[in-house]
């Protein structure tokens, strides 16, 4: 016998297909996703090539996989997942915005109910005039003209008072920027210049808003910002005229376009750029935040010092109060009065005994003086005796000294050097023998003459005249 489902059991997929117009049998999202996944798996169960412009949606160096989107000329997009695709990006130097061929299969991610292309191969299309290539050419031209040189860029003021904002009032990036600024400080005021931030004519609107704020002279800084998006959404920020207008502005300009992965032409020519609108808010409020932190630190230090001083004063006051409570002023006064009376009585007794004490002290001093005189006299006598003894010893010594002086005088008389000092000399031959006669030194003999100071070397010449008689 055939079995039938219970009335309480949920309807099957076949029942829903046959009763699709019955409101009592609605479809759930999971059932629709399950049906679509089954159809895709059955009808698209093959690999194929797909071509489009690659835009990164998640490009983190911490993961080896690639998560991106493929976009065609009709702005149709298809999510792309390439497991291990970061290696292919590095090998082929593929960047966001490049046109690529991808080979893989189409799948349907059932939990999110989304189509995605599971890539197995990826090749960069060479020679295509993609948006990124157009931007790179324009950037190279601006670089040659020096518009991206750091030397020409203006310094972002650390404490701007009024900030001009060029953005769409409906843009999430503008709201994030303003919210973050107000959360950090209340010292800033803003002058908004609304503008379109994507689509045709957006670049001209942004340039006109920048010129309006720059020519007004009321802004210390101009911020151009918007949230993230695809490369097509952000393409107005790659306009060459806009980039040149930013470079020519007199007011410092800070750009904050998209997210960290986004790269636009205005970021290169602006005086500074931030990777997100939130980071831009942190940049322009950093000076105020640091100042507030410094003031807060000084405030806490002053408060701590005040508390310390207050605690110390309170401790001293408690000590004084306790000391005062332990002492009765009247009893303290009575004790001092008693001590005063006692001291006065001692003074009277000392004054009464003063003559007797002085007399006794005088006798003591007289005895000490007599004893000291006796000791001094004894010492002098002993010194005199010692001097007499030394005197008797000195007399023979003086005689010996006189005899020694006479001998020294005689010795100096016999000293040859004394004769030499009076102008005489001694002649010595080469064997150092003294020359006493003329014949001991024939002509040609080399002699040495010893003088009072120093010596001379002489040579005997033949006589030129008769010898003098001796």
> What is the Cα–Cα distance from 264 to 132, expressed in whole angstroms?
9
| Res. 251 pLDDT band, cuts 50 70 90 | very high
Give the pLDDT score at 232.
74
pLDDT (tens digit per residue) in 81-124: 999 888 888 888 888 778 888 889 998 888 888 889 999 988 88
What's the gap between Cα 67 and its chain centre?
39
Question: What phi and psi values does residue 262 have, to the nearest 5 degrees?
Answer: -80, 140
The owner of tokens 């008389």 is 413
pLDDT (tens digit per residue) in 46-64: 888 888 888 887 655 567 8
> Considering the chain, what is the average pLDDT of its residues?
82
> What is the Cα–Cα distance from 98 to 90, expressed in whole angstroms?
13
Q: What mean pLDDT comes out for the span 421-450?
A: 82
> What is the Cα–Cα distance from 420 to 451, expressed in whole angstroms?
6
Give the pLDDT score at 164.
93
Give the pLDDT score at 1.
41
Query: What is the DSSP-derived secondary structure letter of residue 11?
Result: P
Q: Give the residue from 292, 176, 170 showing the smallest Cα distance to 223.
A: 176
> What is the Cα–Cα distance from 281 to 174, expressed in whole angstroms?
10
User: Which residues touch 100 (CB under 8 Å, ≥6 apart)?
Assistant: 51, 52, 53, 54, 70, 94, 122, 123, 124, 125
- Does residue 59 come out as left (phi exceeding 0), alpha (psi in the -120 to 50 range) or beta? beta
> Which segments of 108-197 does DSSP mark as H helices, in order?
131-144, 172-184
Distances (CA, A) of 22 to 12, 16, 27, 31, 353: 14, 8, 10, 16, 139
Query: If DSSP states are collapsed to H, E and C, what string results for 385-428?
Result: HHHHHHHHHHHHHHHHHHHHHHHHHHHHHHCHHHHHHCCCCEEE
pLDDT above 70 covers a percentage of the chain that reads 89
First to last CA, the chain: 187
């Amino acid at each position: 016998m055939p079995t039938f489902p219970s009335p309480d059991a949920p309807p099957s997929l076949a029942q829903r297909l046959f009763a699709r117009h019955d409101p009592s049998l609605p479809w759930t999202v999971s059932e629709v996703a399950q049906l679509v996944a089954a159809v895709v798996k059955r009808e698209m169960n093959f690999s194929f090539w797909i071509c489009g412009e690659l835009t990164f949606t998640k490009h983190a160096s911490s993961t080896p996989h690639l998560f991106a989107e493929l976009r065609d000329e009709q702005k149709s997009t298809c999510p792309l997942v390439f497991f291990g695709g970061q290696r292919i990006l590095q090998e082929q130097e593929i960047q966001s915005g490049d046109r690529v061929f991808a080979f893989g299969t189409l799948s349907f991610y059932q939990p999110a109910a989304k189509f995605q292309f599971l890539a197995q191969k990826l090749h960069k299309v060479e020679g295509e005039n993609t948006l990124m290539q157009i931007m790179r050419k324009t950037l190279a031209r601006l670089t040659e003209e020096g518009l991206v040189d750091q030397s020409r860029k203006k310094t972002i003021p650390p404490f701007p008072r009024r900030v001009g904002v060029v953005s769409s009032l409906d843009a999430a990036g503008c709201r994030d920027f303003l919210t973050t600024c107000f959360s950090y400080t209340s010292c800033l005021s803003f002058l908004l210049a609304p503008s379109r931030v994507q689509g045709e004519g957006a670049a001209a609107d942004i340039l006109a808003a920048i010129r309006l704020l720059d020519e007004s002279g009321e802004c210390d800084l101009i911020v151009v910002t918007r949230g993230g998006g695809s490369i097509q959404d952000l393409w107005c920020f790659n306009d060459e005229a806009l980039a040149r207008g930013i470079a020519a502005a007199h007011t410092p300009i800070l750009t904050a376009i998209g997210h960290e992965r986004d790269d636009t032409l205005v970021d290169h020519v602006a005086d500074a750029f931030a990777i997100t609108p939130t980071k831009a808010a942190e940049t322009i409020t950093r000076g105020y935040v640091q100042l507030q932190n410094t003031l807060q630190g000084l405030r806490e230090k002053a408060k701590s010092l005040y508390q310390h001083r207050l605690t110390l004063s309170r401790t001293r006051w408690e000590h004084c109060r306790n000391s005062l409570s332990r002492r009765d002023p009247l009893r303290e006064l009575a004790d001092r009065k008693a001590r005063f009376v006692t001291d006065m009585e001692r003074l009277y007794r000392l004054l009464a005994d003063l003559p007797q004490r002085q007399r006794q002290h005088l006798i003591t001093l007289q005895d000490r003086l007599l004893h000291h005189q006796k000791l001094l006299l004894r010492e002098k006598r002993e010194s005199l005796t010692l001097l007499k003894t030394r005197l008797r010893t000195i007399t023979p010594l003086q005689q010996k000294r006189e005899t020694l002086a006479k001998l020294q005088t005689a010795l100096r008389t016999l000293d040859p050097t004394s004769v030499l000092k009076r102008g005489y000399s001694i002649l010595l031959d080469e064997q150092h023998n003294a020359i006493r006669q003329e014949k001991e030194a024939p002509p040609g003999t080399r002699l040495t003459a010893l003088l009072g100071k120093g010596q001379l070397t002489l040579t005997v010449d033949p006589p030129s005249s008769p010898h003098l008689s001796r």
